[in-house]
Structure 1
Amino acid sequence: MANFNTHITWAAASSGLLSILCLQVGLVDQQDALTLALVGTIGGILPDVDLQHAYPSRIMFSILGIFVAFLMVFSVKNTMSISELWLVGIGAFLGIRFVFWQVFHKYTTHRGSIHSLLAALFATFALTALSYHVLGKNDFTSWLIGLFLLLGFLLHLILDEMYSVDFMNYRIKRSFGTALKLFDSSKPAKSLFLFGVTFLAWFATPSEQRFWDTFTSPQTYQIIASRLLPE
């Protein structure tokens, strides 16, 4: 499998280049372009979130804890005192980063259900729905954010499979085929549960019509071609 530096470097470079493209052709503004680059980079390390004692897991749960903490603080009523708001935020962060982190790793194994195409779809749909219903993004931008997470996630799986092949000695390592899989067939119950929550996440996503209309329109690619190289 590829190491942490390889995953985050490729994910950051790919999502950064694509976010610049989206910005230059007018699909997003500067703030959303930065969000796309960040989301794509996170997607590049997300499949290793089930590796408990590795950087991706600690980073992802720290980011999730910070996000939930701010979400809870800004969603409660202003009648609470500053110290109470501090306690709410700190409690939410500690609960996600340490308590939920321990529970999550108790029921997951590395390269299991999380390391699959089904998990990639769940993460994509969940973030798209979250961007639309919680962060207030429009339907097109929400799907674009979800797409960048998907691209980073898929890049991670592909890199792991590529590193499972020793091209110099022309041999395939035992880990080949464990990264890029549709679902974890060895854990049917977990895979069935993941399929269920993926369907629920998709059901919560906004309309994708404007997203598909934009990316199937010849005009979009004419704009990209006109802005790709210097005049």
Structure 2
Amino acid sequence: MANFNTHLNTAVNVTGLGSATLLSAGHTDLNGALWLWFLGSIGGLLPDIDSDNSTSLDTIFNLFAFSAVLLVLHYITTELIIEISFIELIIVPLLVYGFMKYILRPIFEWFTVHRGSCHSILFLAFCGLLTTQVTWQLNSQATVQAATFAWLAGGFVLLGGLIHLMLDEIYSVDLSNVRIKRSFGTALKLADFDNKIITLASILAIAGLVYIAPPTEQAIISLSDWSHFRLQSLHFKF
């Protein structure tokens, strides 16, 4: 299978090109393009999150922990409208990070095996839809642009993940000796049907996320318009 650097570099290059294309077409602004690029790059590491000793697992869980800290602080200060002291500002992130690293991560490692459920299209679909829903909830839900960007965010996570799976399958073929390795077919699969409980839970979760997903009609119409695509003369707005 491909190594960490190959997965990351390929995902960064492909999703970077994709986000730049959307920016050139006016489907997103510069901040949105950078965010999509980031999500696509992370998606390129997601399938290896089930490897207990992988660099991908360390990277992704650290990013998840950091994101969780920001979300908790955002919720406390904006939704609950609570003023927190300097000490609490130190303690809350430590508690959230400790929960992610020492409780959630060991549980996740115990339930998963490498190239199992996380190395499947079903898992990537769940991650993509979950990203879509979180992005949708964090933005103004009254605009077409918010729904479009939410679907783009989920789509880039899915794209990065599919790049990872395809790379692993490509690296399963030894072209120098013209032979197929034993790992062929274990990466790019629809679902891990050996683990029926997780597969069923994933299908139910996906169905629920599809049911509450942002509207798609206007998003499709918006993304179908490429009349504003430009190769030059871009004006960036932060």
What residue number does 1:86 align with?
A: 90
Distance apart, 1:97 and its partner CA: 2.3
What residue number does 2:102 align with?
A: 98
2-structure distance, mates of 1:166, 1:79 = 59
Distance apart, 1:136 and its partner CA: 4.4
| Conserved? CA contact 1:48–1:110, under 8 Å | yes
Distance apart, 1:188 and its partner CA: 1.1
What residue number does 2:60 align with?
A: 60
| Conserved? CA contact 1:125–1:198, under 8 Å | yes
Percent identical residues:
35
1-structure distance, mates of 2:155, 2:16 = 14
Q: Does 1:190 align with 2:194?
A: no
For structure 1, list consecutive stretches of 5 or more residues without a partner in the other structure.
none
Which deviates more, 29-38 or 137-146? 137-146
What residue number does 1:178 align with?
A: 186
Cα distance per residue 1:102-135 (max 9 Å; x no partner):
1100000011011101001100100000001025
Q: 1:209 pairs with 210, 217, 221, which one?
A: 217
2-structure distance, mates of 1:3, 1:10 = 11
Distance apart, 1:81 and its partner CA: 1.9
What residue number does 1:126 align with?
A: 130
| Conserved? CA contact 1:164–1:175, under 8 Å | yes
Counterpart AA for 1:193: A
| Conserved? CA contact 1:4–1:56, under 8 Å | yes
Runs of 4+ in 1 over 4 A off after TM superposition: none
- Tell me the TM-score normalized by structure 1: 0.92
For structure 2, list consecutive stretches of 5 or more residues without a partner in the other structure.
234-238
Distance apart, 1:78 and its partner CA: 2.3
Which deviates more, 38-47 or 198-207? 198-207
Distance apart, 1:84 and its partner CA: 1.6
2-structure distance, mates of 1:10, 1:52 = 23
